[in-house]
Amino acid sequence: MFERVELILDKEKINKIENSNILIVGIGGVGGACFEALVRLGIKNISIVDGDVFDLSNLNRQLLSNLNNIGHSKVLEAELRAKSINSAINIKTYEMFLNESNINEIPLKTFDYIIDCCDTMTTKLLLIKEAIKNNIKIICSMGTGNRIDATQLQITNIWKTNYDPVAKVIRKMLRDNNIKNKIPVLCSKEVPIKTGKRKPGSISIVPNVAGFFIANYVFNDIIDSGK
């Protein structure tokens, strides 16, 4: 099924992709799109973590949601979708909201890459700490809500972010923990639209492009690595 991929990648790079082990935390708007892209790129070993279920409000933007899976586990639906694309894929699912009390249930040291697409700030910090401690590559998604221009998305160093409320919080948390590492993040240069509401607005374009943007970054980093 990956014959088109094999036309542009040599065997060494294909082996790198097939042998990589990826962890995605959060399979919503950004994470779901990233997951879909990685599955179709030929990544065979993916673990996914999310304790949420799909609801009607997800239909406008979350690639993995549809009218038939409302109320169903996001990670289990993601697994079904992946296996409907590639029956040989190895998906491990964790139906939980990741935190300090349960992170030991995940074999972090086995992963080549952590992709953080969760919404919880303390979990983002926890994943960054674990990645640094275990020398695992990580990329974190910042905010995509209240934005309408996907062309302003970028991947940069956390310390070079602007106009992103999520990144602002994470930068402070890193400073408070004396963490100065350059952490790759997906963020937007677009100033968020002010709605006056706590819950962010969202459209289909921005989070899905963000997810594919992250998948692109991870894919190219893997095939260009010396591993």
Per-residue pLDDT of the chain (227 residues; tens, 9 = 90+): 788 888 999 999 999 999 999 999 999 999 999 999 999 999 999 999 999 999 999 999 999 999 999 999 999 999 999 999 999 999 999 999 999 999 999 999 999 999 999 999 999 999 999 999 999 999 999 999 999 999 999 999 999 999 899 999 999 999 999 999 999 999 999 999 999 998 899 999 999 999 999 999 999 999 997 65
**Domain holding 99: CATH number?**
3.40.50.720
Taking the model in full, what pTM does it have? 0.96
Domain range for 56 is 3-224
Q: Look at the chain and report how many structural domains it folds into.
A: 1
Return the beta strands (E) in the chain as ranges. Answer: 21-25, 45-49, 90-94, 113-116, 137-141, 153-157, 184-188
